[in-house]
Structure 1
Amino acid sequence: MATERRELARELADDLGQELIRFDMQAALNDRPDNVGETIRSALGITTALQNAWRDSDGRASFNAWRSRIEAKGVLIFQTTRFDTEEASGFAIADDILPIIAVNRKDPPTRRTFSLVHELAHLLLKVSGVSDLDTDAARPAEDQRLEIFCNHVAAASLMPRDAVLNDPRISGRPLRSTDWSDNEISDIARSFGVSREAILRRLLTFDRTTPEFYTMKRGQYQAERQAWLKKQKQEASEGPGIPRNMPQETLSNFGKPLVQMIIGNYHQENLTLSEVSGYLGIKAKHLPKLELLSGFR
């Protein structure tokens, strides 16, 4: 499905006379993850001040901001609900033109952001793959090394060493602290647009907590996440719930670049309204609102 969308995007861009951006970001597996993280932040124009400006209750603003900047580098980014969160967090398909990242929409926004940057690291390495953010000991050693590297790059990109250690909520704390409250951890995590587990893992990396405390809190957070997932599934099975916003959902799933290409070809009469509806899986009545959301007009 993802590769079919990429081929469609190439055809649509050609019909529009649009020159596609070559994805030229790169890294090597023996690079220092912190250095790769700095490269990513610089290329995308990400600063700590910007991350603070994206702060919200669930990390959605941060996800959307990182996504739009990565898309501007010529990457197609999709969201999918085709697999469970236990199966995979996302996948990457490397290519010089229109490489692909897909993230699991069933995950909370903060986890999707980490997945997004993890998959971006795959693209920098020119290595396609399906990823689970929890490294699996059953994987071949080379696969484990790759996934660990991409996790480290994602952490360094989202939570740079200096930004974390200079944060006043952290800099004044003793080494190997074990009295971090959930409110403190949540507050710091929101500043970086990441999950509580992600920022706590970063604190462990910098010796600001202990392995025992991290393991305890990680177990708590994973139990809470499983309860959240169970609640989501239960609500979905019980009834229609909140009406679906199909234009927004379509834009979230397909991404702004592909949606704009499809709408652009429709307005140039290269596609019929029926073809647009078929490609996007959306009724024709939703197209005007989708145009507005995508920034086409």
Structure 2
Amino acid sequence: MPSVRQDINPALLAWAMKQSDIDENELANRANINVAEVQSWLAGHDKPGLTALRSVAKVLKRSTSFFFLPNPPASSTTVASFRAPIGSSGPRKISPDELNEIRTAARRQKIASWVLKEINPEERVSFPISNGDPEKAAIEARSWLQWNTVYQVRASTKAGANKRLRSALEERGILVLQIQMGRSQCRGFSIADAQVPLIAVNSTGHIASARTFTMLHELAHLTLGEQAVCDLPDDSHERWCDRFASAFMMPRQHLREYLGRNLKKGYIESDDLDSVRLISNRYKASYQCVALRLIELGAADWSLYQYIRSGSYEHDKPFPNPNGGQTTPEVRLREYGTTYPRLVIAAIDDNKISELDGRRFLNVNGEQLANLRSRLTDVA
């Protein structure tokens, strides 16, 4: 029996393809259908069967019901600042997976912002004002976050420092998401918002110290208040954000004293991996971050950075989970952080949304929601 034709709206198919940056040939290839069929659906001459529609929906990362809407969604004004994958340089076309993750993050941000407007409309995130100098901007940011370099140095692991920084950002009202997009995808992105600014970090294949650097790099974009075009990054802006992040992790005088007192060196040679490792372990900063900071201070040259980038020298220490895996509430906290679930639960408690909607927003069941609520109370 032939599949029943699905009366989709061609405008919705065209809109979803444009949003995912997928043309007719790519959609046909990935959905395992004929390109002539796609063209016929777009022109309104024919309709897909249910099996074909499901394949298309999977490729475009939309629900099948989406294609029956009367009109495409209103254009979003959301623009994300975008940090490209390690090893890339210059303008790069954003992949469909990256676009999808940006859309998903923006939806969560929109939910969180709506909740905050409902329960505390006056609350705003007021970033320290940058004066154009990344060194001074880093000092102001450390003060704003109440970030103590002594505690950073005393952290037992780079993962511990990363967790503490994420908490400090969340305490200031920033939504910090940890996503998994694959090694070849972007390292992170940020979306400005007056009430709930967002930082997203790609955790796939990126060690804790690299994720810390990405968080700070995206924080720099937010403090600048810029809305950078994702696929046309301004290299000067990216360098400014990198300088800010490395200055935040390694204050000038603090690092100079360490170099002279502990390493007995004022200059690090291009192949001195041992010194880079020691500095990295002390400040919980990535090797690349260390190299950038040393170059900024005139304590190394670009050959050190090139040497670091030429190999995989830094690795996280294994951290076995005694429970054999994480529960769903633990996974949600790792993915969403605390800002987003706190706001969703606050909306439930304030009768702004139903518990069913809250569970849907957080992707948990009733028991998991109770567990998540308890965990958030414990970390308050």
- How far off is 1:10 after superposition? 2.8
Q: Which of 127, 133, 146 lines up with 1:45 in the alignment?
A: 146
Q: Secondary structure at the match of 1:96?
A: coil
Q: Which of 211, 218, 228 lines up with 1:119 in the alignment?
A: 218
The equivalent of 1:97 in structure 2 is 195
For residues 33-61 of structure 1, what are the alpha-carbon distances to aligned partners after superposition, in whole Å with 9 as ceiling and x for unaligned?
111111111111112212123231xx221
Question: Conserved in 2, the CA contact under 8 Å of 1:90 and 1:104?
Answer: yes
Shift in alpha-carbon separation, 1:86–1:118, aligned structure 2, 3 A: same
Q: Secondary structure at the match of 2:262?
A: helix
The equivalent of 1:36 in structure 2 is 137
Instruction: Give 1:39's aligned amino acid.
Output: E
Task: In structure 2, list runs of 5 or more residues that go unmatched.
Answer: 1-103, 317-323
Q: Quote the Cα distance in structure 1 between the aligned partners of 2:376 and 2:281.
A: 26
- How far off is 1:77 after superposition? 1.5
Matched, 1:180 2:272: yes
- How far off is 1:14 after superposition? 4.1
Instruction: Give 2:298's aligned amino acid.
Output: D
Q: Secondary structure at the match of 1:295?
A: helix
Q: Quote the Cα distance in structure 1 between the aligned partners of 2:185 and 2:177.
A: 17
Q: Secondary structure at the match of 2:199?
A: strand
Matched, 1:169 2:262: yes
The equivalent of 1:11 in structure 2 is 114
Shift in alpha-carbon separation, 1:276–1:88, aligned structure 2, 3 A: same
Shift in alpha-carbon separation, 1:186–1:17, aligned structure 2, 3 A: same
TM-score if structure 1 supplies the norm length?
0.79
Instruction: Give 2:272's aligned amino acid.
Output: W
Shift in alpha-carbon separation, 1:147–1:17, aligned structure 2, 3 A: closer
The equivalent of 1:293 in structure 2 is 375
For the pair shown, the structure with the greater C-alpha radius of gyration is 2
Q: Quote the Cα distance in structure 2 between the aligned partners of 1:129 and 1:67.
A: 23
Q: Secondary structure at the match of 2:346?
A: helix
Q: Quote the Cα distance in structure 1 between the aligned partners of 2:226 and 2:153.
A: 32
Shift in alpha-carbon separation, 1:218–1:254, aligned structure 2, 3 A: same
Q: Quote the Cα distance in structure 1 between the aligned partners of 2:305 and 2:353.
A: 54
- How far off is 1:144 after superposition? 0.7
Q: Secondary structure at the match of 1:21?
A: coil
Identical aligned residues as a percent: 23
Instruction: Give the aligned CA root-mean-square deviation in angstroms.
Output: 2.8
User: Which structure carries more relative contact order (alpha carbon 8 Å, separation 6+)?
Assistant: 1
Question: Conserved in 1, the CA contact under 8 Å of 2:116 and 2:195?
Answer: no
**1:262-277 to 2 correspondence within 5 Å?**
262-277=344-359
Shift in alpha-carbon separation, 1:35–1:102, aligned structure 2, 3 A: same
Q: Secondary structure at the match of 1:166?
A: helix
Q: Return the structure number with greater helix share.
A: 1
- Find runs of 4+ consecutive structure 1 residues off by over 4 angstroms: none
Instruction: Give 1:288's aligned amino acid.
Output: A
Question: Conserved in 2, the CA contact under 8 Å of 1:23 and 1:98?
Answer: no
Question: Conserved in 2, the CA contact under 8 Å of 1:178 and 1:210?
Answer: yes
Q: Secondary structure at the match of 1:221?
A: coil
For residues 128-178 of structure 1, what are the alpha-carbon distances to aligned partners after superposition, in whole Å with 9 as ceiling and x for unaligned?
3477xxxxxxx86x71111111111111111111111111334x1142435
Q: Quote the Cα distance in structure 2 between the aligned partners of 1:190 and 1:130.
A: 35
The equivalent of 2:297 in structure 1 is 206
Question: Conserved in 2, the CA contact under 8 Å of 1:80 and 1:105?
Answer: yes
Q: Quote the Cα distance in structure 1 between the aligned partners of 2:168 and 2:352.
A: 28
